[in-house]
A = this chain, B = another copy of it.
Amino acid sequence: MTLFSSLTPVFIAIICILIGVILKTNKEKEKHETKSKPVSHPWVDEDLKDGTGHHLEEEEMDGEWQGLEENVAHVPFSVEHYTEAEMIKRSKMFYELLNKRRSVRFLSDEPVPREVIDNVIRTAGTSPSGAHTEPWTFVVVQDPYLKHKIREIVEEEEEINYKKRMGDRWVNDLKRLRTNWIKEYLDTAPYLILIFKQVYGLLPNGKKKTHYYNEISVSIACGILLAALQNVGLYTVTSTPLNCGPQLRVLLQRPANEKLLLLLPVGYPKKDATVPALTRKPLEDIMVVM
């Protein structure tokens, strides 16, 4: 810690920030990619096949690894310190706000200010990510033709899925089928946000560079996105369209290193919107204190 108590790093920091401003993001990425190469070990590649096995130390998860490995200077960090009363109040209000969130599949076509969409995606982009790779692409679809093409692709796949299921189920499924495989909101929602995870990057030498934990990182960013949407009164239904990833990737002209993680139709609930009468687990069922 004595290292940081001296003033030297502050000067280094100022210089680094200036350099940072000059360097283009992709320049930085290249630099970072080259540096993180040694991290690629057989066990890592193995683990990439299985999200449950692969572990990564926090420096990669939150970007500090990169910071330390590349000797990126550390800069002093001071934050707002709320009183305990303020903290309790803020935590309660935020819980009450987010507890009103429900997945809504009945979305109106009422337009939504584009500036709000920009801000909620900016907010999602503040998420931590493995090795600070920020491995996410948010494709915002507002074009009615494209939205309808997406609907056609999703509904066709859903139909196949439900018909497969019919093999297993014999009792009054028809109503459920009708209800489920029609995705009107893909046409009506003013925006469809398709979130792609960048599963690898490209090194200057053209070799693939694994993005460790890209799925966890992008999912965390989506959690922040859902909070940002709820904060402005916009609703969505979290969806992972069955088997549509490759078709949608091609339709939206995303590169091969990007895979669809989630599709979020975004808008206001319809006047007559409904949600299933489901409850959430109480705190004692999700928290253990030791």
Contacts and interface: CB of A to CB of B under 8 A. Distances in A.
A276 B224 contact: no
A88 B115 contact: yes
Given A95-B123, A136-B286, 11 more contacts: A5-B272, A25-B285, A52-B199, A58-B105, A58-B237, A78-B273, A81-B233, A88-B115, A91-B120, A134-B281, A219-B219
Interface of A: 1, 4-5, 9, 13, 16-17, 20, 25, 28, 38-39, 41, 49-52, 55-59, 61-69, 72-82, 84, 87-88, 90-92, 94-95, 98-106, 112-113, 115-116, 118-128, 132, 134, 136-143, 146, 158, 161, 164-165, 168-169, 176, 179-180, 197, 199, 213, 215-216, 219-228, 231-235, 237-245, 252, 259, 261-263, 268-269, 272-283, 285-290
A286 B121 contact: yes
Contact of A118 (B118, B139, B269, B287): B287
Contact of A98 (B87, B123, B180): B123
